[in-house]
Structure 1
Amino acid sequence: MKLKLPLFFCLFLLMQNAKSQTHPIELHPNNRVASLQMTPTEYSNWKANDQFNNAAVRQALFQDIYVKFQDHFDFIFLILNEDTRPSNLASGQLMKVSNNVTGIGMSTYNDCASYGSAGKLKAVMHLARRDYLRAGPSLHELMHNWGNFCLQTESVSSYGTGLTSFAYQPHWGFTGGSNKGQLGGFQQSTLVANGGGSYSVGTFGLNANGGNSVPYTQFELYLMGMIPLSGVNNFDVFRGITSYSSDGTTDTFQATTRTTYTSASLQTLLGTRNPSSTTSQKNFKLLVICLTDTPLTAAQWSLLDDYSEKFGRTASDGSSTYNFWEATNGLGTMETGNLQNSLNALGVATNEFTEDIRVYPIPAKNYITIETKNNIDIHELAVYNLLGQKINNFTVQQNDNKIEINMGDCPKGIYHLNIKKEDGQLFVKKIIIE
């Protein structure tokens, strides 16, 4: 079989501008985590100057990541290769990129192009220590993709009396829930009214409750689109806090305002969530990248791969912490694997089929021959130039074990040939046209 590449595609695509990749990016063999290596100076500046919060620097880094990867990811997490958190950095931070959900207190917007995404990316996250994917605050930061942008909540400046109470979106502050929430708040069932505006609850955090040690509350699950509003039990929000104390097991506070939210009152306040829990996205794909200034050691790779597998597992991770599937009560998934299927043409060439697939001659004048053995079925062929631009794509109907591609109309140079097997596995081969 002979396939010919049109001269139009060869000349047109070679003339287009495209970015070359700036940072070396490697994949762990299990294809669940990647590393991005900065220079020591760049990495030091990234940490010292908190450059995740510098929009220009942050977006340029993600633009570079998308040179390597296709637009397959809902979320991308950057994890620093650090044993301890740099003191000037927050443990975790999420930056929203796009939102198409209404009825949760946010407007819709799309800033994907600034990051290199064609429209799929929802948010990016920064975690300041190597183990924060597993220990948290990864679940907490993910929740900021959906909340809290809808309820007026408050925190306080200190314990005791005479404190200052202030607005505290996007966290829950003095808010009850079906359990202690990822964005803070107490367990509603522990609430005791002491009289005179005084209340006691089981001890809780105003902005978080111990990393990944708690699941999402019913209301958090509603905001995420996992359950309908009818699945959210009544809960209270307190404001005007005038005193706050804790004995380690019970927290006591004085509040001037208590608001009880029901399904009906939330419906009136927020309107209808669109998409509803019936049609909302519940299965997400995550890219985990470790930022480093030196190649990762075998131990560091192994740790990150293990944490990524456990966070994306659709079962218990076997520990006291929650992964995404557990935290959503099995309603949501966060895929962290199969990264090799998300690589662009110039990603990583896998050699696992070299004994079953031969590509020759290299270099070639005109024709490239792909020869297979051991009943290997080729489903698709694609040729890319060194800018990562696809010149053409072919669906193959194979009649024998040899396929010829005519590259004679293409300018001399180096190309990458993508060979996709029937089962979806990919083999990438560099070819040279003289």
Structure 2
Amino acid sequence: MLIFVALVSGCGYRYFLPGASVTQHLENLVVMETSKTDFGPNMTRTISICREFYRHYEDEFDVLVLIAHNPEYIEDLWGDGYSGRMKVVRNAVAGIGVETLDIGNLFGSEHRLKGVVRLVHPKHVFDETLLHELMHLWKSDLDVIPSTEQGHWGFSSVGGQLGGFQLDDLRSLGDGKYSAGNFAPQRALESVPYSPLEMYLAGWIPPSEVSDIWVAEDGSWLMSKWIKGRRYVQKDAEGNRVFKARKISTWTIERIVDKLGPRSPSFEHSQKEFRVAFVYVTTGRAPREELELASTEFYIRQFTKKGPVSTWLKGVLKVDSRYNFWEATRGIASIETGDLQSFRH
């Protein structure tokens, strides 16, 4: 089945969207079926799934999270190396790393939807992926500090969900070479809370709580010579990867505010409670076990819990630390998913 959508913006555009249909309504999860779970890179299928959701539910959600039924744990299911993606569809906040826009009606939302997250597997609800993608609501297409990684913090001391390192780990090795512990310029390699700069952009703390940021504006990994047809990132004596940079700068919060403008609304009046709907997307061909749905719902409850993750669960996952949304925001912000069925038409 194809869904026909006509949009008018200066001139007419016509889109034929692949079909999608809701098959099950659960406590905090909607199950939907479509011909393929390629909605990660496929925006037309993403739009189709979202529009089908709004045929059944009211426009009272800030974020939709689409999760692929992926029983074989194929990490590169979408063939692009991504485990998650965020599509920002509406933003009216000024002074952050996202342009103002409103294309929510294309996705079926008339007034509230801010973004659509797509996850390649249910486990990414409760690892760092969903925390990372949610931060793109406030940092995506506009530069906040100089970075060689579009939409991310790059080789800087931001040290948050969108990459960077902790300033205490920075070591100068001479001749424009540095190391900074185990980090990545585009994501957090370990479970970490949102950094002060991320918290400020999201509207959860005042600018006065953001420390100065060390930035390697032209940072890049220091690569080895070719060895058997491959090159490797060089490491320091402690085994940490080495990067190089010639243009180093310090970015104060005053400099950032001067560049972006003051955040509006300010943290005193910003949104701190969010309603999120999770959609489990299947093809109907691969068998779907009830245990898969149960574990997905369990991940959702733990991620949105207004309290710390249990010691028992961290033991099961064999991790020393694991932050849910409430913990990652220092208990300042929260996500609500309960009572989902009360929002049905």
- Whichever structure has more strand as a proportion of its residues is 1
Letter in 2 for 1:124: V
CA distance in 2, matches of 1:268, 1:24: 47
Report % sequence identity: 31
Larger radius of gyration between Structure 1 and Structure 2: 1
What displacement does 1:236 show? 0.8
Contact 2:144 2:260 in 1 (8 A): no
Letter in 2 for 1:288: F
- List alignment gaps of at least 5 residues for structure 1: 1-20, 155-166, 345-434
* SS, match of residue 259 in structure 1: strand
What displacement does 1:87 show? 5.7
What displacement does 1:27 show? 2.2
Corresponding position of 1:197: 176
> Does residue 155 of structure 2 align to residue 174 of structure 1?
yes
Contact 2:31 2:282 in 1 (8 A): yes
**Aligned pair partner of 1:257 in 243, 247, 253:** 247
Question: Normalising by structure 1, what TM-score?
Answer: 0.65
Letter in 2 for 1:170: G
> Does residue 33 of structure 2 align to residue 34 of structure 1?
no
CA distance in 1, matches of 2:291, 2:219: 48
**Aligned pair partner of 1:273 in 263, 276, 287:** 263
Structure 1 segment 145-164 matched on structure 2, within 5 A? 145-148=137-140, 149-154=142-147
Corresponding position of 1:220: 198
Structure 1 segment 257-406 matched on structure 2, within 5 A? 257-294=247-284, 296-318=288-310, 319=314, 320-344=321-345
CA distance in 1, matches of 2:56, 2:152: 35
Corresponding position of 1:66: 54
CA distance in 1, matches of 2:20, 2:248: 54
**What's the Cα RMSD here?**
2.0
Contact 1:33 1:305 in 2 (8 A): yes
- List alignment gaps of at least 5 residues for structure 2: 1-18, 223-233, 315-320
Structure 1 residues 32-82: Cα deviation after superposition (integer angstroms, max 9, x where no partner): 1221123xxx12xx43xxx44333332122111101111110000000111
Letter in 1 for 2:60: H
Letter in 1 for 2:55: V
Contact 2:204 2:332 in 1 (8 A): yes
What displacement does 1:243 show? 5.3
Contact 2:145 2:251 in 1 (8 A): no
Structure 1 residues 246-284: Cα deviation after superposition (integer angstroms, max 9, x where no partner): 357533322111111112212222210001011000110
* SS, match of residue 245 in structure 2: strand
**Corresponding pairs, count:** 299
What displacement does 1:133 show? 0.4
* SS, match of residue 202 in structure 1: coil
Contact 1:153 1:171 in 2 (8 A): no
Would you identify which runs of 4 or more consecutive aligned residues in structure 1 move more than 4 Å?
A: none
* SS, match of residue 267 in structure 2: coil
